[in-house]
Amino acid sequence: MATTIIVGTQWGDEGKGKITDLLSEQYDVIARYQGGCNAGHTVVVEDKQYIFHLLPSGILHKDKICLIGNGVVLDPEVFFDEINALEEKGISIANRLFVDYKTHIIFPYHKMIDESMEEEKENLKIGTTKKGIGPAYVDKYSRNGIRACDLIHSDSLEKKLNSQLEHKKLYLYKNYQIDISKENINKIKEKYHEYGQKLKKYIIDGSLLLDEQIKKHKNIIFEGAQGTMLDVDHGTYPYVTSSNPMAGCACTGCGISPIYIDKVIGICKAYTTRVGEGPFPTELVGSIGEKLREYGNEYGATTGRPRRCGWFDAAVVKYANRINGIKEIVLTKLDVLSHFKKIRICKEYKINNQVYPHYPADSEIIKLIEPIYEEIEGWKEDISHINNFNDLPKKTIEYIKKIESLTDCKAVIISVGPKRSQTIIR
Ligand code: IMP
Burial of residue 16 (CB within 10 Å: 0-12, 13-18, 19+) is: buried
DSSP letters for 367-389: TT-EEEEEEEE---S--TT--SG
What share of the chain has pLDDT > 70, as a percent? 98
Q: What is the pLDDT of residues 207-229, one digit of tens each?
A: 999 999 999 999 999 999 999 99
CA 51 to chain centre: 13
- Give the three-state DSSP class for 37: coil
237-264: average pLDDT? 97
| Cα dihedral 308/311/313/316 (nearest 10) | 10
Q: Is there a catalytic annotation at residue 385?
A: no
Rounded distance between C-alpha atoms, residue 207 and residue 151, angstroms: 20
Beta-carbon contacts of 391 under 8 Å, excluding residues fewer than 6 positions away, are: none
Beta-carbon contacts of 367 under 8 Å, excluding residues fewer than 6 positions away, are: 279
Beta bridge partners of 356: 349
pLDDT at residue 236 is higher than 70 = yes
Q: Which of 233, 236, 254 is nearest to 244 (CA)?
A: 233
Pick the CATH number of 269-425 from 3.90.170.10, 3.40.50.300, 1.20.1260.10, 3.40.47.10: 3.90.170.10
254-280: average pLDDT? 97
pLDDT at residue 1 is higher than 80 = no
Distance 245 CA to ligand 1 centre (A): 11
Q: Is there a catalytic annotation at residue 41?
A: yes
CATH 3.40.50.11260 fits 3-100+203-265, yes or no: no
Ligand 1 site, residue 230, Cβ cutoff 6 A: yes
**Which residue's CA is the closest to the ligand 1 atom numbered 2?**
241
Rounded distance between C-alpha atoms, residue 109 and residue 177, angstroms: 10
Ligand 1 site, residue 273, Cβ cutoff 6 A: no
Pocket of ligand 1, candidates 275, 277, 332: which has the most ligand atoms within 8 Å of its Cβ, to mutate?
Answer: 275
pLDDT of residue 170: 55
E-strand ranges in 33-113 read 41-45, 48-52, 65-68, 73-74, 97-100, 104-105
Q: What is the pLDDT of residues 85-94, one digit of tens each?
A: 999 999 999 9
Sign of the C-alpha dihedral computed for residues 189, 55, 245 and 284 taken in this order: negative
Tell me the one-letter amino acid at 134: G
Maximum separation of any 2 CA atoms in the chain, in Å: 69
Domain(s) labelled CATH 3.40.440.10 in the chain stretch across 3-100+203-265
23-32: average pLDDT? 96
Beta bridge partners of 269: 332
Rounded distance between C-alpha atoms, residue 271 and residue 183, angstroms: 51
The β-bridge relationship of strands 263-269 and 3-8 is parallel
pLDDT of residue 48: 86
H, E, C per residue of 227-285:
CHHHCCCCCCCCCCCCCCCCCCHHHHCCCCCHHHCCEEEEEEECCEEECCCCCCCCECC
Q: What is the pLDDT of residues 345-377, one digit of tens each?
A: 999 999 999 999 889 989 899 999 999 999 999
Ligand 1 site, residue 129, Cβ cutoff 6 A: yes
pLDDT of residue 58: 92
**Which residue's CA is the closest to the ligand 1 atom numbered 21?**
12
Q: What is the pLDDT of residues 167-211, one digit of tens each?
A: 776 555 556 667 777 888 889 999 999 999 999 999 999 999 999
Q: What is the pLDDT of residues 95-146, one digit of tens each?
A: 999 999 999 999 999 998 898 887 777 777 899 999 999 999 999 999 989 9
Distance 128 CA to ligand 1 centre (A): 6
- Give the three-state DSSP class for 155: helix
pLDDT of residue 167: 72
Q: Which H helix or E strand runs over 408?
A: none
Domain(s) labelled CATH 1.10.300.10 in the chain stretch across 104-199
Query: CB count, 10 Å around CB of 155?
Result: 9
pLDDT at residue 333 is higher than 70 = yes
Domain(s) labelled CATH 3.90.170.10 in the chain stretch across 269-425
Residue 58: DSSP 8-state: G
Ligand 1 site, residue 54, Cβ cutoff 6 A: no
Beta bridge partners of 419: 44
280 in Cβ contact with 359 (< 8 Å): no
pLDDT of residue 303: 85
pLDDT of residue 98: 98
CATH 1.10.300.10 fits 104-199, yes or no: yes
Ligand 1 site, residue 37, Cβ cutoff 6 A: no
DSSP letters for 81-93: HHHHHHHHTT---
Q: What are phi and psi of 341, to 5 degrees?
A: -70, -40
> Out of 28, 41, 53, 104, which one is annotated catalytic?
41
Ligand 1 site, residue 244, Cβ cutoff 6 A: no
